[in-house]
Structure 1
Amino acid sequence: MATSLLAAMIVLLIICVAWQAQHPWLAWPRAFAEAATVGAIADWYAVVALFRHPCGIPIPHTAIIRKNQQRIAESLGSFVEENFLTPEVIIARLSGFNAAHALAEWLAARENSAMIADVVAGSLPRLLDNIDETDVEHLFDRLVIPRLRTLNVSRMAAQILTLLTEGNRHQPLLDRGLSAAETWLSNNVGLIKAKFSEASKFTLSTLDAYIVNKFVEGIVALMHEVVADPEHELRRRFDVAVQDLSSELRTSAVYRRFGRLLLRDCIRHLQGSGYYRVMLDHLRAYVLADLDSEDSVVRDMLTGTLVSVGKGVASEPSIQHKLNAWWLDVAGLLVRRHRHQLSALITDVVKGWDAKQVSHKLEAEIGRDLQYIRINGTFVGGTVGVLIHACVLLAMR
């Protein structure tokens, strides 16, 4: 359209020049056609010079985009870094969005969590196939075993005992122990009688049986008393014994040394018995069998965990606030650290494009608007030409 308009202005100019002598009023359309032609040609040159050489002639300062691709790439990267990849812009954009709540509600929908669980579970067989015994051994030797060697087993045992004794949590264990001891005594009365008879060779067997029966009955009765009485003396003695043991586990050098020896033997067993391969084989077999089943425990566990996390976060605005604050801090930190790398990536990508292809793509994207510039330039030029002609006539009068 723009080129046709230029051709029309040239034709109009030729007609006006040819017939102006017979028709003086053609001076006005001639002035319009002359200026419009000049404006159209000038704008055509300007538009074409952006993308290629006009008419294929390598005129200086033409094919601007193609020749300046490297500089444009660097300018584009710098522009994005300075105007978009700034902590203020990123944080201001993200701060108005409750990302934690949106993500939590999305995870709370079981089908969404199941989708993530399927992706994770589907990647496990490939992950396990790529792991061999050497990888597991390396992991344990570099991460697990050095930490095991630093453990204070006796102190850890003392902490476990302290945790058990808080709030009398150990009393049900004592009750279970007394019940198990009573069952053992009742089931092994004959064995006890036999051992008692072996140790007491000069007494009658009936007397041995009587003594053993009375002994067992007395022990069982004592156990029943302890179970029935929360304040029984034996319970208090048991509490004192547990507390003493916990204190000794914390302070005793003997227990510390015993814990180190026990831990050393465990590490030797772990390193020397092919445990890595056995553990990896068992884990791989269990996971593969589970994932092949319709009711996969791994998938259900992953799905349930994600759903629980989503519901928990969605119902706790305080947690959402903390997560959003953390997310904004992370985003700001990432932008500060890596904004230059992101702009460099943009620069490198643009530099790697084919210059001619980039020029053609840009021309295809914005060429239509540039053609309207040519059209407007034609009419603006023509209008200015008429005004100049009118001013000349007025000045001559």
Structure 2
Amino acid sequence: MRFFADGGAGARTASASVRDLRKIKGLQRMRVTATCLLALMIALLLVCVVWQPGYAWLAWPRAFAEAGTAGAIADWYAVVALFRHPVGLRMPHTAIIPRNQQRIAENLGRFIEENFLAPELVVGRLREHNTAQALARWLAERKNSEAIADAVADSLAVLLDGIGEKDVEWLLDRLVIPQLRTLDISHVAGDALKVLTEGDRHQPLLDHGLAALERWLTANVEMIKARFSEASRYTPAPLDAYIVRKFVEGIIALLHEVAASPDHALRLQFDEALQELIVKLQTSPVHRRFGKLLMRDCIRHFRRGNYCRVLLDHVRTRLLGEPGQGQTAMRDVLASLLASLGERVSREAAIQNKLNAWWLALAHELVVRYGRQLSALITEVVKSWDAEEVSRKIEAEMGRDLQFVRINGTLVGGMVGLLLHALALAVAR
């Protein structure tokens, strides 16, 4: 599944054009209907005027036609005046929307800022929903996590395909290497050792080292005997073997003592040596200079070895797989990680509360900081629109309803005409 597909923007544009065309056709049909109704009222009025002297009862349809014609023309004028000048005459208070575009834009921006972007309103509405839980449940569904993984993998593939060796060199020379040159590697090493030794975290490593040393001594007894015999040419071989055996056994026994006793003197001496080394790494100018020289030599070695290509190929292989294999492994790992994260968060109310609190605080900060800018952006965008184009779009959106106003005005006007005619007859009698 892919979030993005070629031609997506074109498809959306084509769909919007079809909708606009459908709206314009609907508007034209309603406009023709309202105009035909007006023509019918005028025709009825003319018939009644011509034939009324011979048929007195035609006074009733004449009253209906007169009032209906007046209502239809008045509503036609009102509707047209919203969007353009009626019959091209620049009368006052016509073409209301195009002439007042700037004021409409300002009022629209102010309305959105006051009624939609108020921090209390936004945060209050968001607080009604457990956003973290909803997002976690959505993410826990495999198809959703796979969709995100596909989008990330595709974007990463496009990004890495567009990066060349020169780009990596520029990135390292401009951003990475200057930071490495100023890095106090000695102090960093001291901090790392300090973290490692806090709470005796290094003791398991020491125990592992003692066990490894014992295994090495046991496996290399013969080599030690040979080296000892070479250095002691005038002692008999059995004596050399005896001395070496006792030496190795003594060392192994000592290692066992150190491993078995947390308070052994050698273990304490090792701890003191580590603490002394930490202090020197963090404070000694000698160690600081040595760290800078070491970092400088590493940078030179990296540049001379032309490792930019090696680094880029390594990243591509690890993230995208071998050429031709695609990013299946990375997609699966990322999808599983996201799904697992969603499942964990959906079960942990405490995590949801923390995420929701963070999200609400972030939303409040964004609205406070950028609410006015957003309303200003809306204002500027509306101001930049072409006035006639805006008028056409608004008319396409609400024009059908306005044509119904014309139709209703014709019929209601006719009914009012009948009522007035009846009242006039009643008064006359």
The answer, yes or no, to whether TM exceeds 0.5 is yes
Go from structure 1 to structure 2 and tell me whether the alpha carbon gap of 1:135 and 1:52 turns closer, same or farther (over 3 Å shift): same
What does residue range 92-171 of structure 1 map to in structure 2 within 5 Å?
A: 92-171=124-203
Task: Note the alpha carbon deviations across 1:21-48, whole angstroms, 9 max, x for none.
Answer: 4444544443333223222222222223
Q: 1:168 to 1:364 in 2, by over 3 A?
A: closer
Cα 1:52–1:271, aligned 2, differ >3 Å: closer, same or farther? same
Give the whole-Å Cα distance in 1 for the aligned partners of 2:328 and 2:52. 94
Change (3 A) 1:372 1:244: closer
Please name the residue that 2:274 is paired with. Answer: 242
Instruction: Tell me the equivalent position of 1:270.
Output: 302
Once the two structures are superposed, residues 292-348 of structure 1 have per-residue CA deviations (whole angstroms, 9 ceiling, x without a partner) of: 548944223322332233233223333323322332333333334444554455456
Determine helix, strand or coil for the equivalent of 1:203.
coil
Counterpart of 2:29 in structure 1 is none
Q: CA deviation at 1:360?
A: 4.4
Match of 2:364 in 1: 332
Quick check: 2:321–2:327 contact (8 Å CA) kept in 1?
A: no
1: CA distance between counterparts of 2:251 and 2:373? 79
Structure 1 gap ranges (5+): none
Instruction: Identify if the C-alpha distance between structure 1 residues 118 and 14 changes in structure 2 by more than 3 Å, giving closer, same or farther.
Output: closer
SS in 2 for 1:44: helix
Indicate which of 60, 65, 87 corresponds to 2:91: 60
Q: What residue is the counterpart of 1:307 in the other structure?
A: 339
Q: Does the aligned pair in 2 maintain the 1:175–1:227 contact within 8 Å? A: yes
Query: Which protein is bigger by CA-based radius of gyration?
Result: 1
Q: 2:245 is matched with which residue? A: 213
Q: Tell me which residue corresponds to 1:13.
A: 45
Q: Report the equivalent of 2:10.
A: none
Does the alignment pair 1:32 with 2:42? no
Rate the CA distance shift 1:299–1:201 in 2: closer, same or farther, 3 A. same
For residues 186 and 114 of structure 2, what CA distance do their matches in structure 1 show? 58
CA-based RMSD of the aligned residues comes to 3.5
Quick one: distance in 2 between partners of 1:284 and 1:294? 11
Q: How many residues align?
A: 396
Identity %: 61
Q: Is the 8 A contact 1:73 1:346 kept in 2?
A: yes
What is the deviation of 1:120? Answer: 1.0
Q: Secondary structure at the match of 2:339?
A: helix
Cα pair distance change 1:271/1:32, threshold 3 Å? same
Deviation at 1:103, TM superposition (A): 0.9
Q: Which amino acid aligns with 2:289?
A: R
1:203 to 1:383, Cα distance in 2 relative to 1, 3 A: closer
* Closer, same or farther: CA 198–2 of 1 in aligned 2, 3 Å: closer
Structure 2: how far apart are the matches of 1:115 and 1:324? 24
TM-score of the pair, normalised by structure 1: 0.82
Q: How high is the TM-score relative to the length of structure 2?
A: 0.76
The answer to whether the 8 Å contact 2:320/2:330 transfers is no
Residues in 2 aligned to 1:169 and 1:348: alpha-carbon distance in whole angstroms: 61
